[in-house]
Chain A
Amino acid sequence: MTCDETLRTQSYLDGELDGAAAQEAERHLQTCAACQALAADTADLSDLLRTATRHRAPDALRGRIGTLLDRERRPARPFWLGAASGAGAMALAASLAIFAILPPSAATLTGAVTDAHARALVADRTIMVASSNHHTVKPWLAAHAGLSPPVTDFASDGFVLTGGRVDEVAGSRAAVMVYRHGNHQIDLFAWPDRGAALPQPGMAHGFRSRFWKSGDLDFAAVSDVDSGAFEKFTALARAQRE
């Protein structure tokens, strides 16, 4: 059994379509047996591949790369930096100073949570308290971050609570709930709301982020999972109650 629409159905299943195109593909899927079979097969294959090995860079390689980068000399200073001395540099410095005293803007918040997530991944210290039990993670966060965000394990939905840590987001201490989805990690940040405007959902350095407010806390989810899983996770996280 074949169908001319299989590539479009595949795009839909891979989360590549949105709006009207997605609706159209969805409608087609409801009536086409071939595409329904494709959808089931694709999901099965995805589940199967989740059990294949995702290789991690060996520590020795990580160390060797660090040493190689240490040996790299700084590239020569671009000529225009030399020219930007004197009055130009003063003006530049003045404009930078204005940015420095503003409260964190929406754009810097996206950078702040993405960087915090990336820093933790690099240093391999994403988890300070390892537990899938929210009764363990919640009091630990309360004691170490001074914050009591809701902590829920979404394992039945495919998002396994693996622990928590204390981090920093734009100068505020933040509690981080760490989840695992397949081979990917999702960090859920929570920090005290100070009335700052929150950024739109976005993508920076390969990580998705989404922000919301709840009670007296600001929240941000950050991860490199695909958009479908990320939407599902943020919906679950936003719906949880104290």
Chain B
Amino acid sequence: MDDRRRRFEAQALPHLDAAYNLARWLSRSPADADDIVQDAMLRAFRGFDGFRGGDAKAWLLTIVRNCWRSAGAATRRRGHTPIEDENLVDGEADPEEAAIQSGARRRLDTLVAQLPEEFREVLILREMEDMSYREIAEITGAPIGTVMSRLARARASLREIAKDCT
């Protein structure tokens, strides 16, 4: 394995789960998330010489989002918007506990999946991936002020729909 590949594995691959999580929440489909992440990792590797240090996670997630946007344009032309919810349950020790948890988790996942795109992405990036406002602005290509107001509105609408359902 050459040095470039080794550096890529050390810097980008640790963020593969984050990349997949974002792709999965944006596309809401395991099959599309697979394609998006595969495409993104290949683009990231080809463009790796252009990556001048800094935050590898934000860099990779920016590529994932771009891949999703270009895939999204194709999907929208085909006219389908999948919401699949398989694979949501992790292996839990206590089956009864797991059933209760997975039921609540499944409902919550469905609520998050129903949020509008621009709310969903800031919420996932902030609450699951712990990205800063500056990083979210970089990834989504929106000004920081927009990130802040979208995040506030995203939280308010999720709170609102979560209240109705519980």
Mark A residues whose CB is within 8 Å of B: 6-7, 10-11, 14, 16, 41-42, 44-46, 48-58, 61-62, 64-65, 68-69, 72, 74-75, 115, 117-119, 121-122, 183-184, 203, 205-207, 224-226
Contacts and interface: CB of A to CB of B under 8 A. Distances in A.
B119 interface: no
Interface in B119-157: 123, 126-128, 130, 132-133, 148-149, 151-152, 155
Interface residues of B, number: 55
Contact of B9 (A14, A53, A61, A122): A122
B14 interface: yes
B109 A65 contact: no
A2 to B, nearest CB: 11
Contact of A46 (B56, B90, B127): B127
Given A58-B34, A122-B13, A224-B57, A48 B162 contact: yes
A14 B42 CA distance: 33
Contacts of A52: 105, 108-109, 112, 128
Contact of B155 (A41, A50, A55, A226): A41
A205 B152 contact: no
20 contacts: A6-B152, A11-B148, A41-B159, A44-B159, A50-B127, A51-B108, A53-B105, A55-B17, A55-B33, A56-B21, A57-B20, A57-B37, A68-B42, A69-B45, A72-B42, A75-B49, A118-B14, A203-B55, A205-B11, A205-B14
B104 interface: yes
Nearest to A42: B155
Given A51-B105, A65-B38, A16 B21 contact: no
Given A56-B20, A57-B37, A68-B41, A14 B126 contact: yes
A53 B109 contact: yes
A69 B108 contact: no
The winner among A41, A54, A115, A121 for most chain B CB atoms within 10 A is A54
Interface string B10-40: 1101111101110011000010011001100
